[in-house]
C-alpha cells in the first residue's frame, strides 16, 4: 500500500541516533505497527527525490536477517523511512538491561550478522557500513535482523557532514581513509561481539563510553565525502552546517554528564582512540571458549587483506557450532 504520513499515528519514541530519531507508529488504516525513522536532510529537492528512489532498493531486500521495509516518503524537511518494528529493540539496549550476553547467544548473533551481510553483498552488492549493537535488532520471535545499511549513496553523501557512520566501530583502514570493503563490516562485527560478551564497549576502560563521534560534533572537521574518514581530517576547525533538535538534546545530555566539549580533554581522547585503533593491537576476548576468541581475533585482523569476508567466516568453526546451537532464542527473549 501507499504510505502517507497522515496515516501514521505516533506511539512513542524508540531512540535517537546521529541522523534523527526512530518512533514506534501505527499505520491506522491497516493497524500495522511500524518503526518510523525520521532523517533530517539538508539537500536539494532533486537530491531528496534521488534518495527516495535509491531507498526503494530496500523493497527488494528480502531475508530473514534483514529488517523488512514498508516504504519511505518525504515529509519536509525530513525523509521518513518506515520499517519492520522489532519489539525487543537493539542489542545495545538488551545488554544495558540484562548485562553481558551469554557467549553462545553472542555466537548466534555473529551467525545472523554474517548471514545478513552475505545476503546484502552477494545479492545487492551492498556494504552495510554501520554495524554496531544498536543496528542489530531482536524480536520476541527470537529473530535477529540488521537495519540501517547503506543502500543510498546519495543519503550517505548528504549526511556525511554530520558524521553519521563515523564511529569507533570503524575499521583501521576506514579511519585511515583507505578504500574499504565488506571486510570493514567484519571488523565492526568483531568490536560489537566483544561489547555484547563483556557488556561494555571494549575501549571504554580508558575512553569515554560515548562511542559515537557524533557526540563530539564541533571537534571534527566535516570534510568532503571521501576524505571525512581520514585521520588527517580530524582536529580541524569545526564547520558544521546545522545542528538538529536531536543533536541539541544530545548536547544537553552531555552537559548533564559533565562532559565538556570546550575542554579539549575529550577532544583529545576521541582522537587518541582513533589513533589507538589504527596503531595498537586490536582488542581481544579473553576467558571465553577458545573458538569464540579465535573467531573474534579473525574479525579483528588489522590488515584487511588478511581478514576474511562475511561469506568465508560463515564456515568458521564457532559459527558452524552456533548453527546447531540448542539455545531457543524465542525462549531467551522471554527472560527480559
Ligand atoms: P542508533 O542506531 O545510532 O542508536 P538510530 O536513530 O538508528 O540510532 O536508532 C535509534 C534507536 O531506535 C536504536 O538504538 C534502536 O534501539 C531503535 N530502533 C531503530 N530501529 C528500530 C526498529 N526497526 N524496531 C525497534 N527499534 C528500533
Ligand atoms: Mg541505527
66 lines ligand 1 (CB under 6 A): no
ipTM of the complex: 0.99
Closest CA to 239 of 158, 156, 154, 162: 162
Residue 131 CA, ligand 2 centroid: distance in Å: 9
Reported as a single tens digit per residue, the pLDDT across 41-83 is: 888 899 999 999 999 999 999 999 999 999 999 998 899 999 9
| Mean pLDDT score across all residues of the chain | 83
Angle at 300 between CA 299 and CA 301, to 5 degrees: 100
Nearest-ligand number for the alpha carbon of 246: 1
Give the predicted TM-score (pTM) of the model. 0.85
pLDDT of residue 272: 84
307 Cβ contact partners less than 8 Å away, ≥ 6 residues apart:
183, 186, 187, 298, 299, 301
Q: Is 37 annotated as a binding residue?
A: yes
Options 92, 130, 212, 316, the catalytic residue: 130
210 labelled catalytic: no
201 lines ligand 1 (CB under 6 A): no
147 lines ligand 1 (CB under 6 A): yes
Amino acid at each position: 500500500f501507499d504510505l502517507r504520513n497522515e496515516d501514521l499515528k505516533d506511539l512513542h519514541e524508540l531512540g535517537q541516533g546521529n541522523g534523527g530519531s526512530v518512533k514506534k507508529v501505527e499505520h491506522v488504516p491497516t493497524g500495522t505497527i511500524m518503526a518510523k525513522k525520521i532523517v533530517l536532510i539538508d539537500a536539494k529537492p532533486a537530491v531528496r527525490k534521488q534518495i527516495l528512489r535509491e531507498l526503494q532498493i530496500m523493497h527488494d531486500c528480502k531475508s530473514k536477517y534483514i529488517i523488512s521495509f514498508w516504504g519511505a516518503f518525504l515529509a519536509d524537511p525530513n525523509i521518513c523511512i518506515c520499517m519492520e518494528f522489532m519489539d525487543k529493540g537493539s542489542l545495545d539496549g538488551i545488554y544495558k538491561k540484562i548485562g553481558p550476553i551469554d557467549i553462545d547467544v553472542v555466537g548466534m548473533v555473529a551467525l545472523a550478522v554474517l548471514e545478513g551481510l552475505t545476503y546484502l553483498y552477494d545479492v545487492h552488492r551492498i556494504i552495510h557500513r554501520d554495524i554496531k549493537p544498536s543496528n542489530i535488532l531482536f524480536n520476541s520471535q527470537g529473530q535477529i535482523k540488521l537495519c540501517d545499511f547503506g543502500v543510498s549513496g546519495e543519503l550517505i553523501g548528504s549526511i556525511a557532514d554530520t558524521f553519521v557512520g563515523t564511529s569507533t566501530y570503524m575499521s583501521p583502514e576506514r579511519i585511515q581513509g583507505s578504500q574499504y570493503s565488506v571486510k570493514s563490516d567484519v571488523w565492526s562485527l568483531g568490536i560489537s561481539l566483544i561489547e555484547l560478551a563483556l557488556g561494555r564497549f571494549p575501549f571504554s576502560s580508558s575512553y569515554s563510553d560515548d562511542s559515537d563521534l557524533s557526540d563530539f560534533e564541533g571537534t571534527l572537521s566535516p570534510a568532503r565525502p571521501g576524505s571525512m574518514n581520514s585521520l588527517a581530517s580530524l582536529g580541524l576547525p569545526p564547520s558544521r552546517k546545522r545542528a538538529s533538535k536531536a543533536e541539541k538534546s544530545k548536547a544537553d545530555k552531555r552537559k548533564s554528564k559533565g562532559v565538556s566539549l570546550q575542554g579539549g580533554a575529550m577532544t583529545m581522547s576521541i582522537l587518541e582512540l582513533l589513533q589507538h585503533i589504527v596503531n595498537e593491537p586490536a582488542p581481544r576476548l579473553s576467558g571465553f571458549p577458545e573458538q569464540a576468541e579465535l573467531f573474534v581475533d579473525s574479525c579483528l585482523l588489522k590488515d584487511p587483506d588478511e581478514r576474511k569476508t562475511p561469506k568465508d567466516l560463515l564456515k568458521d568453526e564457532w559459527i558452524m557450532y552456533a548453527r546447531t546451537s540448542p539455545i531457543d532464542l524465542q525462549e531467551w527473549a522471554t527472560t527480559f
